Amino acid sequence: MTASLRSLWLKCHRWTALGLGWILIVSGLTGSLLVVARPLDRWLHPDYFVAAQQPAVSQVSLESLRMRLALEFGPKAAFTFRPPRADGDTLEVLVRGRWRGSLYLHPASGAEQGRRGEHDSVVSLLHGLHSALWLGQTGKAILALAAFVYLLLAISGIVLWWPRRWPPALRIALDKGFSRASFDLHRTGGIVFALLLAVSMATGAYLAWRPIGGLISWLAGTPVVSAPTLPAAAAGPALPLDALASAAQQAFPDGRIGLFLYTPQLDRPLAVRMHVPDDPHPNGRSVAWLDPRNGQVLASRRWDALDPGTRINSIVFPLHTGELGGVAGDAAVALLGLVLSVLGITGLVLWWQRRQARRRARKRSTL
């Protein structure tokens, strides 16, 4: 590579990183912290996650819970019920009404064991920063852009690193001063982990910004699967939630309810996400759409029959969070988050040191 072309690559790498590198640092640190914070939160607050009386002989009526919650949070409140995934877990209810947050209930009696507002826990704050920079949909779009920027940084970094002779020297000298250690950590860490970090950033962008999934389906020539239209019928009260849950279960006899998405509006289908045995997504991506007035199953799709942009969510989500690989997956996600933040920090350090060196050189030349 000629000196002028290398200088151009270096400038592109440097200024792109200085523009959005802070987002990569935040994303990496919060991702690593979330891996540790989730099990720590469960250990520190067992009342939220572990049923007080075990075992639960029977499941509480969802309809009785809905009626009780509607009295407290208003008739227009929406509730997402997440049944226990394992024996001894509580039943979690995500509330969207006059109050927004999560309730943790005993799955047999329905007794409340605790509640937290949507911003009351360290985990929720970290998740909001990691997934949207606390900026809602705008933050999600910024994170998707940052992921694209990382790919540019990775490519430019590989071009700058590419050695004339092989095999290359991949070593980190920690005994030759802070500047040399920062340089070696930035260069060697970026090369060794480039591919894994690219996967992590790409999956994070996919999860953060929904239009990416729609774009994937469009490129595949497959229309995005959406909720069916509710057929015209005489207005009437909704069926009890337990009857609707039973109808969804009959649509997927081999599955379990992952998320029951209740909304009080009777002019739209009610969605129940089901987890079937071959679905890697912890909440399940198979879905049954029901007519809330009579319990008719309007449509049902297994996760592997959805459009590509939605279907791959079942793999991308547990891959990005580490759940796909168990403890090893969690450890890998935590490590990659730390590596990403170290790359960003060392890059800033190197830029600052060079900037200070140039200033000192200018001062000496004027003496």
pLDDT number for residue 236: 66
The model's pTM is: 0.86
pLDDT band at 235 (very low <50, low <70, confident <90, very high): low
Sequence letter at residue 32? S
Whether 225 shows a pLDDT value over 60: the answer reads: yes
Instruction: Specify the 3-state DSSP secondary structure of 282.
Output: coil
Produce one character per residue of 313-352: b if its CB has 16 or more CB atoms within 10 Å, e if not.
bbbbbbbbbbebeeeebbebbbebbbbbbbbbbbbbbbee
Pairwise CA distance, residues 294 & 233, whole Å = 10
In sequence order, what are the residues at sequence separation of 6 or more whose Cβ sits closer than 8 angstroms to the Cβ of residue 77? 69, 70, 95, 96, 97, 98, 264
Pairwise CA distance, residues 217 & 301, whole Å = 16
pLDDT number for residue 107: 93
**Residue among 161, 153, 163 at smallest CA distance from 198:** 153
User: 117-121, 133-137, 150-154, 341-345: which range is least confident on average?
Assistant: 150-154
Pairwise CA distance, residues 345 & 5, whole Å = 26
Whether 307 shows a pLDDT value over 70: the answer reads: yes
pLDDT number for residue 56: 53
Sign of CA dihedral 44, 48, 51, 53: positive
Pairwise CA distance, residues 293 & 234, whole Å = 9
- 282 and 85 Cβ atoms separated by less than 8 Å: yes
The helix-helix angle for 178-192 and 326-366 (nearest 10°) equals 140
CB-count burial class (<10 Å; 0-12, 13-18, 19+) for 5: exposed
**pLDDT tens for each residue of 7-21:** 777 777 778 778 878
Whether 263 shows a pLDDT value over 90: the answer reads: yes
Average the pLDDT over 16-36 and give the result: 89
Structure tokens given for 166: 């092989």
Selection from 174-178, 313-317, 354-358 with the highest mean pLDDT: 313-317
pLDDT number for residue 149: 81
Other C-beta atoms lying within 10 Å of the C-beta of residue 52:
12
Tell how far CA 163 is from the center of its chain: 37
Whether 210 shows a pLDDT value over 90: the answer reads: no
pLDDT band at 110 (very low <50, low <70, confident <90, very high): very high
Average the pLDDT over 324-350 and give the result: 90
> In the chain, pLDDT over 90 holds for what percent of residues?
55
Tell how far CA 323 is from the center of its chain: 11
- 230 and 298 Cβ atoms separated by less than 8 Å: yes
pLDDT band at 1 (very low <50, low <70, confident <90, very high): low
Tell how far CA 226 is from the center of its chain: 21
Strands (E), 178-333: 256-262, 270-275, 286-290, 297-301
Whether 234 shows a pLDDT value over 80: the answer reads: no
Whether 89 shows a pLDDT value over 90: the answer reads: yes
Strand order, beta sheet including 286-290? 112-117, 100-105, 91-96, 78-82, 256-262, 270-275, 286-290, 297-301
Whether 276 shows a pLDDT value over 90: the answer reads: yes
Average the pLDDT over 235-257 and give the result: 91
Average the pLDDT over 83-94 and give the result: 93
pLDDT number for residue 26: 93
Average the pLDDT over 185-194 and give the result: 86
Average the pLDDT over 143-168 and give the result: 80
Mean predicted lDDT score pLDDT of the chain:
89
Quick one: which H or E segment has residue 123? Answer: helix 122-132
Structure tokens given for 145: 């852009």
Any bridge partners for residue 50, and if so which?
A: 89
pLDDT number for residue 284: 95
Whether 233 shows a pLDDT value over 70: the answer reads: no
